[in-house]
Homo-oligomer: A and B are copies of this chain.
């Protein structure tokens, strides 16, 4: 799936920033792609970029309006249809990660047919994949894994890409979720793929590359999450990572959406290696990324130092302290560094 930038970020009239996290994430990571935002009356989110009408966005070269907000249930509120139709009539493509297909709304399907603009339903995958083969591919791969969902896996992979590129390394973020697809303009929402093709789709996402090239692959879920572990395992096998970073939120007591306790970081390392060596016998943990938002800086540093000592790998909060130590660890990992 290829989505053409630049973008107009549609935030609707969502009640808070959390409901607009997709849009805000795109602006964080691809500010150059985000020409403006479109907000409806009452919108309580603000991406900090110019408010533009659809006509203004069009005149400034916007190619795609991205629905960067979500309301409860992921459905499309009826009053969002009109601005979407207006964008299509102006010749903009429209992209969403909602649980409904844009083309299932007759007014939207008709508008797209009228203008020839494209509809991107990032949460749906119409692409055909082969089943995974597990054959070793050249290139270096790092996968972010988690003790839970929403533990910083996408952020960590993006931060690693940014730091590696700043050092002149050949590195690409590989998206496996909807926000990541918007940020990179390509990729697959891996949880939307038919179950038989999880690992095959991931093999497609991070194909054979130059021996010194790094893929920074966005993980999903957790091998210990009773809802999504199948996705996480197929992703691990398809990614065949040389290295993985464990992402963790230390104040959480139960996994998101269920009543199960979080696994320990050690359990995640052990099971990731036990399963991951099927497609890459050399798999190893190379870092811990912790969301320390709820700790003061001193407590955060103590926690990270403890993890680094316990697991023998660098630990950081990517947002608070950056990822230089994680990338330092990967210096000389391949042949062509």
Contacts and interface: CB of A to CB of B under 8 A. Distances in A.
A131 B191 CA distance: 11
Copy tally for this chain in the complex stands at 2
Given A131-B227, A278-B229, A195 B200 contact: no
Contact of A233 (B230, B259, B278): B230
A24 B275 CA distance: 33
A275 B223 contact: yes
A192 interface: yes
A207 interface: no
Contacts of A232: 230
A135 interface: yes
A317 to B, nearest CB: 27
Nearest to A202: B230
Interface residues of A, number: 40
Nearest to A130: B73
A228 interface: yes
Contact of A229 (B200, B224, B234, B260): B234
Interface in A223-250: 223-224, 226-235, 237
A196 to B, nearest CB: 4
13 contacts: A73-B131, A134-B227, A134-B259, A134-B260, A195-B198, A195-B234, A200-B227, A223-B233, A226-B278, A229-B233, A229-B275, A230-B232, A230-B235
Interface of A: 73, 99, 130-135, 190-196, 198-200, 223-224, 226-235, 237, 257-260, 271, 274-275, 278-279
